[in-house]
Amino acid sequence: MNDTAKPVERFLPFTRPTIDEETIASVAEVLRSGWLASGPKVAALETALSDYLGGRAVRSQTSATAGLEMALLACGIGPGDEVITPALSFVATANVIVRVGARPVFVDVGLDSRNLDLTQVEEAITPRTRAIMPVHFGGLPVDMERLYAIAGRHRLRVIEDAAHAIGSSWRGKRIGSFGDLVVFSFHPNKNITTIEGGAISGGSAAELRSIELHRWHGQVKSGPDSFDTLLAGGKSNLSDVAAAVGLGQLKRLEEFNARRRVLVARYFELWGTDAPVRLPERGDAGHSWHVFTPLLPLEQLSITRLAFIEAMKERGIGIGVHYPAIHTFSAYRALGYREGQFPNAERIGRETVTLPLFAAMELTDVERVVNAANEILRGARK
């Protein structure tokens, strides 16, 4: 046995949820209660989210994808309509537009902000445009003042894809506490989780009713043996098991996000102004930092992104990719989109890497990531 062998470091994933023992116990309590589907815990979570967002109406779903689709339907958006959205996001952002029969109209994004280019948004508006669906990428809020000014001038709905942005704020106001319809995600890789889940904030009484119908078969009950189905809805109701997790998570959201900001500050401090990667826009204290996604200078390197990912994995560090440009996928090429239309989104899609960032990380973990990346990139310079 070689006593001088270097100890193997624990694997550091790019994300990992933090679930405390109190939350685990609350799930066990729900399991023992016999009420597992939507019930008192779902109602409690919706109330807690509403309180967190300043009293706005909140309706939960099994995913943000379901929430975005229901928000579009509640706004009456369908065949023949257009919805403007960024070319860079998780594909669900565009998929839901297609699923309701409308056409996604892509615009490019800022190279560092990753948020939609609002100048291009205005240029993309046509008589068929019904809504804008921005994405607060990585938790960095879009310029809300300018966004809503554009929407107001053209009488458009705004459906905010805030999947990354629970706990983010714009000029001191929490995303979801104002604006039109705002959709959050509680997937396990988000800042808080309900295992799988999402929620919509906002909406008129009629829109809330539409959302409720679409998440439960379009069905209404007027008595113990009296039902009616008003529309062909789906089934996207959150479970009490999921809601119990969400209640425990929401209590710690501000703590989790504060920790993320500390970790990101360390990334910026270590890399300074002469980083071997292109760092994302830093934003201000309103940024919730769902992901930390620098760009690799691939044109200056003798390795591919895949090789970088594999080299980091060999060092016990997990890397994600958020995201390929949506219009480069086959489903969207079939709609007539092609490479070269949105150069920033395409460059980000080629060069982006998602580095480890989650609340349970230590500052020494950030140092480990930076040191490993520096070593690989130094050795790969052309």
CATH of the domain at 206: 3.40.640.10
Are 242 and 270 within one domain? no
pLDDT computed for residue 221 by the predictor: 86
Whether 5 maps to a domain, the answer reads no
Whether 348 maps to a domain, the answer reads yes
Whether 299 maps to a domain, the answer reads yes
Are 63 and 211 within one domain? yes
Long-range contacts of 329-336 (CB under 8 A, 24+ apart): 329/91, 331/95, 331/98, 332/94, 332/104, 332/106, 335/98, 335/103, 335/104
Are 76 and 195 within one domain? yes
Whether 229 maps to a domain, the answer reads yes
Confidence band, pLDDT 50/70/90 cuts, at residue 237: very high
As a whole number of angstroms, the distance between CA 308 and CA 354 comes to 12
Task: Please give, one letter per residue, the 3-state secondary structure of 109-174.
Answer: ECCCCCCECHHHHHHHCCCCEEEECCECHHHCCCCHHHHHHHHHHHCCEEEEECCCCCCCEECCEE
As a whole number of angstroms, the distance between CA 45 and CA 61 comes to 11
The last residue of one of the domains, among 232, 250, 268, is 250
Per-residue model confidence as pLDDT tens digits over 310-328 = 999 999 999 999 999 999 9
Are 173 and 215 within one domain? yes
* Residue span of the structural domain in which 119 resides: 21-250
Per-residue model confidence as pLDDT tens digits over 353-372 = 999 999 999 999 999 999 99
Confidence band, pLDDT 50/70/90 cuts, at residue 225: confident
pLDDT computed for residue 1 by the predictor: 39
pLDDT computed for residue 2 by the predictor: 45
Whether 350 maps to a domain, the answer reads yes
pLDDT computed for residue 308 by the predictor: 98
Whether 9 maps to a domain, the answer reads no
3-state SS assignment for residue 58: strand
Task: Give catalytic residue positions.
Answer: 190
Are 157 and 224 within one domain? yes
The last residue of one of the domains, among 220, 250, 280, is 250
| Mean pLDDT to the nearest integer, 168-185 | 98
As a whole number of angstroms, the distance between CA 360 and CA 57 comes to 31
**Above 60 in pLDDT, residue 141?**
yes
Contact indicator for 177, 170 with CB cutoff of 8 Å: no
Strand 129-132: give its sheet, edge to edge: 58-61, 198-201, 181-185, 157-161, 129-132, 82-86, 103-107
pLDDT above 70 as % of the chain: 98
pLDDT computed for residue 71 by the predictor: 98
Are 49 and 129 within one domain? yes
Per-residue model confidence as pLDDT tens digits over 16-66 = 999 999 999 999 999 999 999 999 999 999 999 999 999 999 999 999 999
Are 258 and 301 within one domain? yes
Are 94 and 240 within one domain? yes
CATH code, domain carrying 299: 3.90.1150.10
Are 328 and 313 within one domain? yes
How far is C-alpha 128 from the geometric centre of its chain's CA atoms? 27
Are 244 and 291 within one domain? no
Q: Count CB atoms within 10 A of the CB of residue 35.
A: 15
**Above 60 in pLDDT, residue 6?**
no
Confidence band, pLDDT 50/70/90 cuts, at residue 7: low
Are 46 and 183 within one domain? yes
Whether 3 maps to a domain, the answer reads no
Whether 234 maps to a domain, the answer reads yes
- Asked if residue 323 has a cis previous peptide bond (ω within 30° of 0), the answer is yes
Give the total number of structural domains in the chain: 2
pTM of the predicted model as reported, rounded to 2 decimal places: 0.96
| Mean pLDDT to the nearest integer, 205-222 | 95
Are 218 and 290 within one domain? no
The last residue of one of the domains, among 227, 250, 273, is 250
Per-residue model confidence as pLDDT tens digits over 331-350 = 999 999 999 999 999 999 99
Q: What is the mean pLDDT of the chain?
A: 96
pLDDT computed for residue 8 by the predictor: 56
Confidence band, pLDDT 50/70/90 cuts, at residue 5: very low
